Amino acid sequence: MPSSDNSIGKRINRAILFTSQFVLISTCILFTVYELAIFKNSLTRELEGLARIMASNSSAPLAFRDEKGAEELLANLRVMPIIRGARLYDKEGVPFASYIPEQQGGLEILPEVSREADDYFLDGHLYLFLPVMENEEKLGSILIVSDISDIYVRIKYYGFILVVVSILALFATYRASTHLKKFVAEPVQDLAGTMHKVTEEKDFSVRAEKKYEDELGFLVDTFNQMLEKIEVTNKALEESRQSLEQRVHERTRELEKARMTAEVANQAKSEFLARMSHELRTPLNAVIGFGQLLEMNLKEKIDPKDQVGLSHIVNAGQHLLTLINEILDLSKVESGYMAISMEDVELEDSMVEVSELMVTMSHEKNIQLDFRHETFRQVYVYCDKVRLRQALLNLVSNGIKYNRPEGSVTIFAESGEDSVVVHVEDTGQGISEVRAQELFEPFNRLGAEWTGIEGTGIGLALTKKLVELMEGELFFKTREGEGSRFSFRLKKGASPRTLEARSAESGGFQEQQADGKRFRVLYVEDNPINLALVEQYFMNVPNVTLSTAIAGEEGLERARLETPDLILLDINLPGMDGREVFRRLQEIEPLKNIPVVAVSAEAMEQDVQRTLDMGFSSYLTKPIDLDEFEKTVNRYLVSV
């Protein structure tokens, strides 16, 4: 609301008062000036008339030197109090006769010398000279002096009238403007008040009151109509908002339902995958494990033909295992279930592992492996260590497999500003441009299925996905007939870190045999095949005493009795499962610090993570890979 000083009512009042007073005063002043001019004019003319009569009458006294008569004539002027004096001058301009009212005293105001016809103001008097003529002959002149104090009286009178009229006008206009205020200002103020209320309280239901059928009334009507429209619009908006809210609500519910369904389905899928991997791995475990044991035990006892057959069994089993793993991985990546744990990894570490794992294969294929270790030293990449190794193994094994006889594979790295590019270069056939596009399609081996080279056709597709999952990119260069170079770029790792396990890897329990130190290992496993496999493995290790249990309770009991240096614990135990056993072990003071390695066919990422999170030292997936097994056991037994 505007301040009261600026209110329209006051402004109207002020405007009217100012205007009326201005008009009134200026009119009065103009009239006064006009009136005074008229007054002076008429006074002059009146006096002139009088002077003419006097002049006419005084011609004979002048002509006949009748001074007395002349004075008597002038004395007649006493009947007019306004005349302050009169004088007759003779032809020579010398005073002849004079008149001064009795009460006035001296003749000072009458000039001693006559003038030509003239009138002028002097000291509040009007002087009027006229010649006295007779028959066109000038006999002398007459002077009449008139008081003009009447003018001042009039001015006073006008001033008084002006003040009175102004006050009356002020009063009248004030009344009029108050009246006007009622007709103009009040409706406007009412309207302003209503508008204020509407803006302040956001209440569109109020209506301005209409008082008169004029423009203001029209304004009020229009305002009210506007309010009505706003109200209707608001209502519609509110309704649509509510219905929208409801729709959102419904949609959310539907989505929630859909999400639940999807989650259930996904759960089912995950369970299926887990079960599949478990069910497929368990029998494979037996095949590969015993195949390897037979190879080891019967090396010199059977003839070479059978040896070849045995190794075929192991190789085929391993191939099958790889296939299963890769399929599982690929499906995990594709469904977004591949968990990635990013960390700073020393490239050289991974390269050493890969080179160790690849040595046998390269010897078999007669391919020279050239790891340029100097390019890996002190180079760190930010990635998932396991997946990095997987990607490297895939690329290097591809390099070995699809190479020319006596070819070579070169592995080297280029360290950039904030990324590291790892190259795997082979000297194979290369890939034709046409087929290059199909390179990353799963199960597409680009015709290699006819060459007799083992492969699943998943490796590259999986590698590409894994690299991309680690925020990197995989690319390749190829020249048909000369070879290919597969490369991937990963983010550079932040800081070098000493890895705990590294010190453990120097030496092992087998090297410590000379010390005569003996280790006790407890293996809790219900599956007799696995049990037999591990028992057979440790039979060849003289300084390890293995004790076994086939159920959780029994395992606990044995652990308490024997206090082993290492516990290998199956997770899927009948009755008390492996995790429960681990929990109980943690509650027993002397057993608390014994390293426990989980051995399970549960290969799903979340299962592994869940188990490791509980405090298990390590996790071995079945089927047991003896190399992996040996390394893990070696790590914990050495650290005792």
Partner 1 sequence: MRAALVLCLAVACLPESALANDVSIEHKIKAAFTFNFIKYIDWAEKSSDPADSEFVISIIGDGPINSALAELENKEVFGKPLKVRFVPDLESAGPSNVYFINVSAQEELDSIFQKARQWGVLTVGEMDEFCERGGIINFVILDDSIHFEINQKEAQRAHLSISYKLLNQASRVIR
Which span sits near partner 1 by CB under 8 A: 56-64, 81-89, 220-228, 371-379?
A: 56-64
Q: What are the distances in angstroms from CA 164 to CA 158, 159, 161, 176?
A: 10, 9, 5, 18
Which span sits near partner 1 by CB under 8 A: 74-82, 130-138, 174-182, 368-376?
A: 130-138
Q: How far is the CB of 154 from partner 1 (least distance, A)?
A: 37
> Does residue 75 interact with partner 1 by CB under 8 A?
no
> Does residue 193 interact with partner 1 by CB under 8 A?
no
Q: At what angle do helices 347-365 and 385-401 cross, to 10 degrees?
A: 30
Closest to partner 1 by CB, 58 vs 322, is 58
> Does residue 137 interact with partner 1 by CB under 8 A?
yes
**Can you read off the two tokens belonging to residue 270?**
């995950």
Closest to partner 1 by CB, 86 vs 533, is 86
- Yes or no: say if 84 and 108 are a contact pair by the CB < 8 Å rule: no
Phi, psi at 272, each rounded to 5°:
-60, -45
Amino acid at 595: P
Residue 384 and residue 339: Cα distance in Å, rounded?
9
Which span sits near partner 1 by CB under 8 A: 5-13, 67-75, 500-508, 536-544?
A: 67-75
Residue from 67, 256, 480, 628 binding partner 1 (CB under 8 A): 67
Site for partner 1 (CB under 8 A): how many residues?
17
Site string (85-104) toward partner 1, x via CB under 8 A: -----x-x------------
Q: How far is the CB of 74 from partner 1 (least distance, A)?
A: 14
- Yes or no: say if 288 and 314 are a contact pair by the CB < 8 Å rule: yes
> Does residue 76 interact with partner 1 by CB under 8 A?
no
Which span sits near partner 1 by CB under 8 A: 52-60, 156-164, 365-373, 570-578?
A: 52-60
> Does residue 285 interact with partner 1 by CB under 8 A?
no
> Does residue 63 interact with partner 1 by CB under 8 A?
yes
Q: How far is the CB of 66 from partner 1 (least distance, A)?
A: 6
Which span sits near partner 1 by CB under 8 A: 39-47, 118-126, 131-139, 581-589?
A: 131-139
> Does residue 64 interact with partner 1 by CB under 8 A?
yes
> Does residue 554 interact with partner 1 by CB under 8 A?
no
Q: How far is the CB of 78 from partner 1 (least distance, A)?
A: 18
Q: How many CB atoms lie within 10 A of CB 367?
A: 24
Q: How many CB atoms lie within 10 A of CB 499?
A: 13
Burial 289-321 (b: 16+ CB within 10 A, else e): bbbbbbeeeeeeeeeeeebeebeebbeebbebb
Closest to partner 1 by CB, 90 vs 580, is 90
Q: What are the distances in angstroms from CA 58 to CA 69, 117, 127?
A: 8, 16, 18
> Does residue 57 interact with partner 1 by CB under 8 A?
yes
Cα-based torsion angle of the residue sequence 215, 216, 219, 223 in order, rounded to the nearest 10 degrees:
-160
Residue 263 and residue 254: Cα distance in Å, rounded?
14
Residue 542 and residue 522: Cα distance in Å, rounded?
15
> Does residue 114 interact with partner 1 by CB under 8 A?
no
**Residue 579: closest CA among 548, 604, 611, 550:** 611
> Does residue 112 interact with partner 1 by CB under 8 A?
no
Burial class (CB in 10 A: 0-12, 13-18, 19+), 166: middle
> Does residue 548 interact with partner 1 by CB under 8 A?
no
Q: How far is the CB of 65 from partner 1 (least distance, A)?
A: 5
Question: Applying CB under 8 A, which residues contact partner 1?
Answer: 57, 59-61, 63-69, 72, 90, 92, 134-135, 137
